[in-house]
Amino acid sequence: MEKPEFVYVTYIHSTAQKVWEALTTPGITRNYWGGIYNKSDDWAKGSRWEHINEKDSEPLYIFGEVLESSPYTRLVLSWIDPDDTTDKSVVTYELEPFDDMVRLKVIHGNFKDGARMINSITKGWPIVLSSLKSYLETGKPIDLWKANKK
């Protein structure tokens, strides 16, 4: 059986530098990811990265390793559930200038058979990417917690 791969594409009126910063700067990710933020010491290949919600009793939501990092164009991360470290996958962000916008393509794949993560990401990525687009274009993110209840 072929493993699923999910591809999400959005076009954002912004620059590749600003989109990159939005993906990798904790103070920015916190704004559009519902208070959760992404952090790494340097976002260099081989570095650890973490997806953290400080308001939760178990703040580490996802973690992994930076597999590839080409600022403003491509970032590839392993994506691991701390509750089940065998539930690993890979997320690729591709940024490409498109007229006066940035084409952001997010590919989430390389799931293990029976991965629980698939259910989370099929609902989560569209909301998060919409919130990112809204935040960069208007300064106002989507309320993810409200959107997830529907």
pLDDT in tens, the chain (150 residues): 456 799 999 999 999 999 999 999 999 999 999 999 999 999 999 999 999 988 877 799 999 999 999 999 999 999 999 999 999 999 999 999 999 999 999 999 999 888 888 888 888 899 999 999 999 999 999 988 666 665
Calpha distance 110→106 (Å, rounded): 13
Assess contact for 137 and 13: CB atoms under 8 A: yes
34: closest CA among 148, 143, 149? 143
The pTM assigned to this predicted structure is 0.92
**Rg, C-alpha atoms of the chain:** 15
- Topology of 6-148 in CATH? Alpha-D-Glucose-1,6-Bisphosphate; Chain A, domain 4 (3.30.530)
Dihedral sign computed on CA atoms, order 16, 17, 21, 22: negative
Calpha distance 128→44 (Å, rounded): 23
